[in-house]
Structure 1
Amino acid sequence: MEQNTQFFCIEEFFESIGVTSQKALERLPIDAWEKHVRKSTIFSSWQEMLNSAGEEYANNNFY
């Protein structure tokens, strides 16, 4: 998170947009979520962020 966003951890990232529970995440409009990702990370979409995290995890744990 620190390398690719303004945040120390994913919890801090969620809290910065007001997501403090699963219910709050479900209520958040996808457009607001995508805008937050573009504004506060190096990624152009949530999917790109997830893909990068998955690749990094695999590289660190399986190779």
Structure 2
Amino acid sequence: MNQEKEQFKNNLKKVAAEQGSRQAISYEDLFNPRFMQKNTSFVSIDVFVKELGAKSFPDIDYLDKKIVDQFVKKETKFNSWEEMQQRAINEYMTSLF
């Protein structure tokens, strides 16, 4: 298991080096339709954002954290917005290998 973790870490470093000065990953790539349909009751991140009551994805940061977490817990497989974001990042990074 430690060898797998070390390999994963090395792969992440390699991707980071290759990305260099590239633009950041978009939220649409992280929360792609496949991820959303598998883990939520929504077909896309845009529908999720609207149902949450935000005008746009960045506006989620301005909403009350407790309200966002309650919504996520009710409408997704996750217990919090943080957990949902982390899973999206993990799945995205895994898909690169």
TM-score over 0.5 (shorter chain): yes
- How does the TM-score come out when normalised to structure 2? 0.57
Cα distance, 1:20 vs structure 2: 1.1
- How does the TM-score come out when normalised to structure 1? 0.85
Work out which structure has the larger RCO, using CA pairs closer than 8 Å and 6 or more positions apart in sequence. 1
Structure 1 match to 2:67 = 32
RMSD: 1.2
Structure 1: gaps (5+ residues): none
Structure 2 match to 1:55 = 90
Structure 2: gaps (5+ residues): 1-35
The one-letter amino acid paired with 1:56 is E
SS of 1:20's partner is: coil
Runs of 4+, deviation exceeding 3 Å: none
Point out the structure with the larger helix share.
Answer: 2
| Structure with larger Rg | 2
Quick check: 1:18 aligned with 2:90? no
The one-letter amino acid paired with 2:73 is R
Deviation readout 1:14-61 (Å, 9 max, x if unpaired): 100211134x531x2111101000000000111111111011101112
SS of 1:47's partner is: helix
Distance 1:14 1:20 in 2: 7
